[in-house]
Chains A and B, each alone.
Chain A
Amino acid sequence: MSTAQVPSAGTDLAGASPGRRRWTLLDARLAPFVFLTPFLVVWIVFRIWPLIQAVEMSFQDVQGLQNNEWVGIENYQGVFENPQFMQAVTNTFVYTIMTLIILIPIPLVLAALLDRGRTYRPLVWRVSLFIPSLASLVVVSFLFRVILSENGLLNSALGTVGLPPQPWLTSASLAIPSLLIIATWRWVGINMLYFNSGLVNISRELYEAAAIDGAKATQQFWHITVPLLRPTIIFVLIISVIGGFQLFVEPFLLWSGGNSPSGGGLSVGLLIYRTAFTSFKFGDAAAMGVILALLILVVSLVVFRLAGGAKALR
């Protein structure tokens, strides 16, 4: 049927017997589909099909598995009128943007400081900062519930440098900063690793040439490192946007049952979970999910543009 299905590495079958040759050819045409099928089946049944269903459900009054009534955009109207949802969107948006502001420049500079023999034992520091990302977010959330508590480690550290203790987990305005502290602790090491593997690919000679021309370390950083790392930076930006917008575990566990003070730590992910599995309003949850997906798409595109993504791909 299709003629395009040939093995990429030119098939020279002259050596095979005629009968065998036919089988081999058939084999070669079918094989890629046999290899692809298991993945595709799971991918379609558990990613694409639920995506279509979720969009469908967002326009339905979902009572159960069948016979759901179509209600048009009623769910969406309800969701937009829900002050909790608007608060969750604002929180999630602020959180994500702040993680971009913290978790791109700091790891980038740290990775550059560990590059090219700028200090002793770079691997030790890389590993030390990476270790937090090995812990489960459940463990992390519990740990920080203790560390951020009134008489926890952070406040005592603040005390030793003469700063007053802060009500990290008990005030609405400190909810997002608390989440950001956790994000910084958990993700700096991993983002450093991304940048490190990008830095390895930059030719040493570029830096040597720049040094001979009298470029200082900071100039080299801005004019060589940053532009050449642009693809990696964009990659980290995009995965941070996708990850940030899906924030769920930390607000769910940092405050019991996710009940942060006046909803200061409420995220869209948490609200969707609760709407679906505590209030059983599946239609509303699906509508929130669709809005979240669109938000992620739009913000990713904007970030991609702002970071000069098109230039990087060329």
Chain B
Amino acid sequence: MTGQTSRRRRDRAAEVPVGSNRTWTKVVILLLFMVLAIVFLVPMYWMVVSSFRTQGDLFADFTNLAPSTFTIDNYVRLFQEQPYARWFLNSITQSLGFAALSVALCTTAGYALAKYRFRGNNILFMGILASQMIPFNLLIVSLFFILIQLGLKETYWGAIIPLAASPIGLFFMRVYASSVNDEMIDSARVDGASEYRIFWSVALPNLRPGLATLFILFSLEYWNNLLWPLIVFLQKENMPLAVGLAGMVNQYRLQYDLLLAGSALATVPIIILFFMLRRQFMEGASFTGTGVQ
């Protein structure tokens, strides 16, 4: 690979005189991205550094970027004054529960649409995909009543089930499932395996990378989601993080110190996870870009 590129460059340098400019353009582009990266990362950096400042230091100057003082007092008071630990735990269980449920629904349905031909397959798929266009803002009113009718208000299930049948997730798993080798499925059939056995022992093992990607994408989506859990939960102790924090942000006088600690604690674990599972995160975030191709 590298050999090829260097040969190409040598060839071009031979015929095109601008070859020597290439290093310069590379450096200019590099500088551009260094500046951009700083601009894009400063807010997060400031949040983390400021969450460890003493109150006096924090309120003296909101533009201070240097780690001037260090205290964990903000975090301690956050846990004392708000049920933050509860919110955090709720967020974890709800995010994981939502991702597990949604991945299960999308995988089985996506597999069925990818690997079986039956009347209406395509129309059904298009219909499901088109429903992604329905704005959630339109649904909240009637969903709220359905939630009450089903007795799911203030419940864990009420928060996760309504969002679980994700058209995008189904789309993703359908693309993924169609790449499973048909010959493997056929030979399992010849061996007398039932369709469910084939799904479980032939298809699923091959879908594993896709499952992981979708699971991460959905967990993150729920972790960051506000609107639906905001409607489901009014009791402080049931809320996930986003809703609890939103209640703190939705005040006229912000408790900046507590909010900084709370925000940093809601974000930093996600960033750490991101670096551990970068490939899945980025694939999950960009899959539809390739899917369209």
Q: What residues make up the interface of A, taking CB atoms closer than 8 Å to B?
A: 2, 4-16, 20, 23-24, 27-28, 30-36, 38-40, 42-43, 45-51, 53-54, 57, 65, 110, 113-114, 117-121, 124-139, 141-147, 149, 151-153, 156, 185, 188-190, 193-198, 200-201, 208, 211, 231-232, 234-236, 239, 242, 245-246, 248-249, 252-253, 256-257, 268-269, 272-273, 276-277, 282, 285-286, 289-290, 292-293, 296-297, 300
Contacts and interface: CB of A to CB of B under 8 A. Distances in A.
Nearest to A202: B293
**Which of B119, B136, B242 has the largest number of chain A CB atoms within 10 A?**
B136
Contacts of B274: 131, 134
B142 interface: yes
B76 interface: no
**Which of A118, A129, A135, A144 has the largest number of chain B CB atoms within 10 A?**
A135
A310 to B, nearest CB: 15
A54 B142 contact: yes
A257 B104 CA distance: 37
A11 B117 CA distance: 12
**Which of A54, A129, A256 has the largest number of chain B CB atoms within 10 A?**
A54
Contact of A193 (B256, B270, B285): B285
B266 A136 contact: yes
B267 A151 contact: no
Contact of B245 (A24, A139, A190, A198): A139
Given A12-B186, A138-B245, A246-B137, A65 B259 contact: no
B250 A256 contact: yes
A198 B40 CA distance: 23
Given A7-B116, A47-B139, A248-B227, 11 more contacts: A4-B119, A7-B117, A31-B116, A53-B142, A135-B267, A136-B242, A136-B266, A145-B249, A152-B63, A235-B292, A289-B141
A11 B189 contact: yes
Contacts of A117: 5
| Interface range, B side | 35 or more
B112 to A, nearest CB: 4
A151 B128 contact: no
Contacts of A242: 132-133, 135
A11 B165 CA distance: 30
B13 to A, nearest CB: 12
Contact of B40 (A6, A128, A194): A128
A273 to B, nearest CB: 7
Nearest to A234: B292
Contacts of B249: 138, 141-142, 145, 253
B149 to A, nearest CB: 6
B165 A39 contact: yes
B254 interface: yes
Nearest to A228: B293
B5 to A, nearest CB: 7
B166 to A, nearest CB: 9
Contact of A50 (B111, B142, B190, B250): B142
Interface stretch (B66-74, B205-213, B218-226): B218-226
Contacts of B141: 54, 57, 272, 276, 282, 285-286, 289
Given A139-B266, A196-B286, A273 B137 contact: yes
Interface of B: 5, 8, 12, 25-26, 29-30, 32-33, 36-37, 40-44, 46-47, 61-63, 104-106, 108-109, 111-113, 115-119, 124, 128, 131-146, 148-149, 161-165, 167, 170, 182-183, 185-186, 189-192, 194-196, 199, 220, 223-224, 226-227, 231, 241-242, 245-246, 249-252, 254, 256, 259, 263, 266-267, 270-271, 274, 278, 281-282, 285-290, 292-293
B104 to A, nearest CB: 7
Nearest to B108: A35
B116 A142 contact: no
Contacts of B223: 136
B246 A138 contact: yes
A47 B289 contact: no
Contacts of B266: 136, 138-139
A198 B165 contact: no
A42 B42 CA distance: 42
Given A5-B116, A54-B142, A242-B133, A185 B109 contact: no
A199 B134 CA distance: 30
A30 B108 CA distance: 13
Contacts of B119: 2, 4-5
Contacts of A134: 220, 267, 270-271, 274, 281
B286 A197 contact: yes
Nearest to A47: B131
A132 B271 CA distance: 10
Contact of B145 (A48, A65, A124): A65
9 tightest A-B CB contacts, nearest first: A289-B138, A31-B195, A39-B109, A194-B289, A35-B112, A128-B37, A32-B116, A53-B142, A9-B182
7 contacts: A11-B186, A15-B191, A127-B282, A134-B274, A142-B254, A231-B293, A273-B137
B29 A57 contact: no
B142 A119 contact: no
Given A5-B119, A128-B37, A245-B135, A35 B199 contact: yes
A195 B121 CA distance: 30
A133 B108 CA distance: 29
Contacts of A118: 25-26, 29
Contacts of B290: 197-198, 200-201
Contact of B33 (A20, A51, A114, A198): A114
